[in-house]
């Protein structure tokens, strides 16, 4: 991730996170992989928003009081509920 991409992702964090998590706990298929996890053109604003959204969401959950080690063993559906409750306002 270059500086421009990182800046864009930080500036648009909630929008990127909402775009990914608003669909719920969908099975990861090729379409979702291509949209959120496949590297895009090096000159684009966003390169791997799925990984960024996951990292940012966990960061925000920890800042709001969640225990990181507990989060690692939490079901995805519970994580999504926490993200909707604490991160996406």
Q: For 42-65, what is each residue's pLDDT tens digit?
A: 667 666 677 787 888 889 899 999
Please write the tens of the pLDDT for every residue from 15-38: 877 777 776 666 778 877 777 776
Between CA 56 and CA 62 the distance in angstroms is: 10
Q: Quick one: pLDDT at residue 39? A: 66
Q: What is the pLDDT of residue 62?
A: 95
Longest dimension (CA), the chain: 37
- The whole-number average pLDDT for the span 57-74 is 92
């Amino acid at each position: 991730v270059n500086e421009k991409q990182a800046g864009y992702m930080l500036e648009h964090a909630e929008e990127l996170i909402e775009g990914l998590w608003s669909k719920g706990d969908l099975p990861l298929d090729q379409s979702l992989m291509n949209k959120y996890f496949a590297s895009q053109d090096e000159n684009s604003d966003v390169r791997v928003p799925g990984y960024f959204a996951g990292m940012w969401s966990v960061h925000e959950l920890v800042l709001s009081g969640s225990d990181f080690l507990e989060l690692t063993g939490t079901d995805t559906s519970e994580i999504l509920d926490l993200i909707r409750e604490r991160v996406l306002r």
